Amino acid sequence: MLAVAAPLLVLFLFTANRGVPYHIDAFSNVLPAWSLGTSGTVSLPDHEVLVDPVHFGNVAWLVAGGESAVSKYPPGAALVGAPFYAMWPQEAVILTVVGTNHPDVAPVEIPVPSLWPAAIAASLSVALAIGFLAISFRALAGGLTALVAAYVAGLGTTAWSVAANEFWQHGPGMMWIALAGALAAGHLLASGLAFGMAILTRPLNAFIAAPTGLYIAWRERSLWPAVKLGGGALLGLIVLLAYNKAVFGELSLLGGYSSAFVENAQSVDGLGYLRNIAMALFSPTRGLLIWSPFLILLLPGLAAAWRAAPAWVRGGALGGLLYLLVQYKANRYSGGDGFAAYRYPLEPLTAAAPLLLLSYAEWVAKRPRAVQVFRVLVIVSIVAQAAFAVSS
């Protein structure tokens, strides 16, 4: 694990964004992490101006919560970032900030904490995620194959250029999902607790946890795997509900999110849904298979990989697929602007990574010509992500 996580941490820290401008979504995790680490609360009284309709959704996604302003996002990412802010001696600095979504709106003066702790939290969480994947890979393939596969996952996807670049929810979410996968083979309760933290970070991760536990239970013809994994995951869900009740006054999974996502999920626009999925895969700017093209060569081997995969690998892959299907039903494929390539597939890719490794072993590795093409596509993917990471 350290042979993967330590070098990646150094690289990620070197290329991470540590100054303004900072993406609005990621900054919405920075502020509660800073407040929690320095003041012990997610409330942001010095940033209440950002709740005003004039500034809402321009600098940070803050909403009214309790008696102050709070991030609309769940607290999981803030919990990961808070310890680094608690140890960081530098105080926030009053800066005049120009919004990214509506740059025509007048700048606003707000306290901006140092972005170094956020860079450390983002870089470390992604480096650990890839390290945990290496553990899962080692259980399925030889040591060198597992090592190389982990580096491909870390460098050939937007794990590097997005999740490790700024303090998105994706980095902590990937970390908890990868840890849950590494534990799923023999430590189901611990795996469930990791899934619970993933849910507390991004509630949609429940769609990865549920199929994992249910599939293992079905294969083992026993309810206990589902009870153990589900029980751990349920704790995260309960904490999320309690948090939303305390902060937003409502026992709800949505918390500070609008109801638009639920309305989109309930929509019967089938053609729009298919187009959203197609664009998520092939869009010139956001396409998963465009910017990580090595994945294309893994698709023909999925059937063989499925036959060779243990239950925990299959369950994680099913969960990743379900996550994507729900994500692209509830939200637009692009995930917004201001970042490199794609971001929504990061958690599903983490969940499905062990099956993708088996696809390489069962199909690509047995075909010399396919191996050659695969290597070229890996290089293309890494060069693309490096260009994004260095330029951002």
Instruction: Tell me phi and psi for residue 223, to 5 degrees.
Output: -80, -15
As a whole number of Å, the CA-based R_g of the chain is 20
Tell me how crowded residue 266 is: count the other CB atoms within 10 A of its CB. 9
Number of residues in the chain: 392
Q: What is the pLDDT of residue 349?
A: 98
Q: Do 310 and 319 contact (CB within 8 A), yes or no?
A: no
Question: What's the pLDDT score for residue 118?
Answer: 98
Let me know: does 259 contact 222? Beta carbons within 8 Å. Answer: no
DSSP secondary structure of 322-389: HHHHHHHHHS-TT--SSSSS--TTHHHHHHHHHHHHHHIIIIITT-HHHHHHHHHHHHHHHHHHHHHH
Which pLDDT score is estimated for 74? 97
Dihedral Cα 51, 55, 59, 62, nearest 10 deg: 10
**Of all residues in the chain, what percent are helix, strand and coil, respectively (each to 5)?**
65, 5, 30
Q: Phi first, then psi: give them for residue 315, nearest 5 degrees.
A: -60, -40
Q: How far are the Cα atoms of 42, 51, 70, 201, 344 from residue 63, in angstroms, in the given order?
A: 12, 5, 6, 18, 23
Angle at 15 between CA 11 and CA 17, to 5 degrees: 140
Report angle CA 219, 203, 8 to the nearest 5 degrees: 85
Grouped pLDDT means (10 residues each) for the chain, 392 residues: 95 96 96 97 96 91 91 97 96 90 87 98 98 97 95 98 98 98 96 98 97 97 96 97 94 81 77 96 98 98 98 98 96 92 98 98 97 98 97 80
